[in-house]
Amino acid sequence: MKKISGTHISNTIIEELRLEVLALKEKNIIPTLAVVLVGDDPASKIYVNNKKKACAKIGIKSEEIILSADISQQELLNVIDKLNNDISVHGILCQLPLPSHINEKIIVERIDPNKDIDGIHPLNLGRLCMGNAGTPGTPIQSFFYPCTPLGVLEILKRSNIKIAGSHIVVVGRGPTIGRPLSIMLSLKGMDATVTICHSKSANIKEITKMADILIAAIGVPKFITRDFVKEGAVVIDVGINRSSDNRSNDKIVGDVDYDDVYEKVSAITPVPGGVGPMTVAMLMYNTVRACEKKFPL
């Protein structure tokens, strides 16, 4: 193993979920995901379309609510309230970013935590910090883990990479990836020793070179080079960055300089085709879990 294909792992998960959804449909239960898209941001449109395709593969019903970029915050809150009260909807995703006149924090907090399949509602993140829901990724969990961190865990587990007892360094402390991921890795059942680095960390290379598993989620193109990495380490690249300001020559790259690091590591995820597909797969996973919480098999 050298290059870890998130695409391959996500396809396996999607097939597992397809079979689960078939079992639900035999009981006349159809998992339903409502996606709210505000405005016409091109990247957001691509993300929403990818989620729609994944729903179709699995058999999840996908509802799209397309709203004008000039919608008021109160009008958007009214849409969220309607979805919260719709018993046929099991998961709600409001695609971020939102227009600048809308407070994202207020919108996220309005989503019913039991339908927060993105796993970023403060109540779900608080439950994560309490560590009282069992091991992430178990079939029935009492709340939703954030999709990208959960995808990273699935990559590690399904690639048979040892987590328990390993020293894992997470570069990045953001509230949706780095911070929750570091907590998830340290939970009972995961049992990793976790260090977080960020832009203000001193001697960052010395810290990252101690990592058995190095996870880059800092949002800086090709930030991690071979002199950040211990010989034989596992590197997980969460970054998605454009490599050029000239949009006609844009290329998607990660936070890791893949070519520079490749020969030094034992395993590495590429960008694209690494963590990205896993985020969509885990969104589908959380949607099915939301449905099963309401209608246990």
The H or E element spanning position 236 is strand 234-237
**What is the crossing angle of helices 178-186 and 147-158, to 10°?**
50
Both structure tokens of 175: 């509230």
- Establish whether 191 is a catalytic residue: no
Both structure tokens of 291: 């449905």
The active-site residue out of 95, 222, 230, 257 is: 95
- Establish whether 118 is a catalytic residue: yes
The active-site residue out of 116, 118, 212, 255 is: 118
d(CA 256, CA 159) in angstroms, rounded, equals: 19
- Establish whether 95 is a catalytic residue: yes
CB–CB of 265/234 below 8 Å?
yes
Half-sphere exposure of 102 (CA within 13 A, CB side): 25
CA dihedral 240, 151, 237, 268 (to 10 degrees): -140
Both structure tokens of 31: 């998992």
The active-site residue out of 51, 115, 222, 230 is: 51
d(CA 238, CA 155) in angstroms, rounded, equals: 12
- Catalytic amino acids? 51, 95, 118
